[in-house]
Amino acid sequence: MEKKLSDNWITEQHIDFEYKKYLLLAYLQHVSERFEETRLYPALSELVKHYRNLVALRDQKKNMFESFPEKLSGADLQHFKLVYEKLCDDDHLMREIETIINFSIPQFEQHLAEGKKIYDFIESKLNIYPVGIVPLHTDAGYLLLRNGDFNETVVFEYQISIFDQPAERYRAIGLQYVASFEKTLRNTYENIKGELLQYNRNLPNPATYVIESELTLPLEDTLLPLAKRSLVRFLNAA
């Protein structure tokens, strides 16, 4: 069962360092257990989200405090300057939040490094290549997935979508399950592609790619997310 950490875990309930430390370490222990099972998602993406939130909160706290107005509190006649103080005191609550943030960021960095190491190792065990002639347009087609020792080829129809953001343009991929083919001498990748041509005549010459995993992996939690990213990167490089 997937254990979640609330997006607002720092400010929810008791803002107490020891309590938040216990909450965080329990969650990260669960993440490590998932990683040991080679189940990277959604744990890895959740780690990235929480880490970015923490860094943003740390920076916002600093910016927020620096942006508070000041009031004249006195005059330093010896050095001929006026003395100001912040209208906002960095009180106990703010210090407690800062302590929680400063403890938490390295913890997330450590587990992110652990997850990335596993991710990179699995990715190095994925082999991707096209089946047959590659058409000019590759934003839609088929993905043939082989998962380690499993005796089948799982076929997905893929669709690439392009999203424009203010700073960049990126491609996202959607997969829809089509069919599974038992591994036999007859069910070569070329023959499977031929059957897919009969299945969907709207794709007369579909882009078709194989991703073979040398490792046997959890499909939903690991192989599919990595396969999607690998295919998008492969298409971008092409």
Quickly list DSSP for the chain: ------TTTTTSS---HHHHHHHHHHHHHHHHHHHHTT--TTHHHHHHHHHHHHHHHHHHHHHHHHHS-EEEEEEETTTTEEEEEESS---HHHHHHHHHHHHHHHHHHHHHHHHHHHHHHHHHTEEEEE-SPPPS--SEEEEEEEETT-SEEEEEEEEEEEEE-SS-EEEEEEEEEEEEEE--SS--HHHHHHHHHHH-TT-SS-EEEEEEESS---IIIIIHHHHHHHHHHHHHH-
Q: How far apart are the first and last CA of the chain?
A: 39
- Residue 91, pLDDT score: 66
Backbone angles phi, psi at 212, to 5 degrees: -110, 130
Quickly list DSSP for 56-105: HHHHHHHHHHHHS-EEEEEEETTTTEEEEEESS---HHHHHHHHHHHHHH
- Residue 66's pLDDT band, with cuts at 50, 70 and 90, is low
Q: What is the pLDDT of residues 137-167, one digit of tens each?
A: 899 999 999 999 999 999 999 999 877 555 5
pLDDT for 57 beyond 80: yes
pLDDT for 118 beyond 60: yes
pLDDT for 88 beyond 70: no
- Residue 84, pLDDT score: 46
pLDDT for 95 beyond 90: no
Q: What is the pLDDT of residues 179-209, one digit of tens each?
A: 999 988 899 999 999 999 887 777 778 999 9
- Residue 72, pLDDT score: 43
What percentage of the chain has pLDDT greater than the value 70? Answer: 83
Cα torsion for 113, 49, 37, 227, to the nearest 10°? -90
Mean pLDDT of 98-112: 95
pLDDT for 14 beyond 90: no
Q: What is the pLDDT of residues 25-55, one digit of tens each?
A: 999 999 999 999 999 999 999 999 999 999 9
Mean pLDDT of 209-235: 96
Q: Report whether 218 contacts 151 (CB < 8 A).
A: no
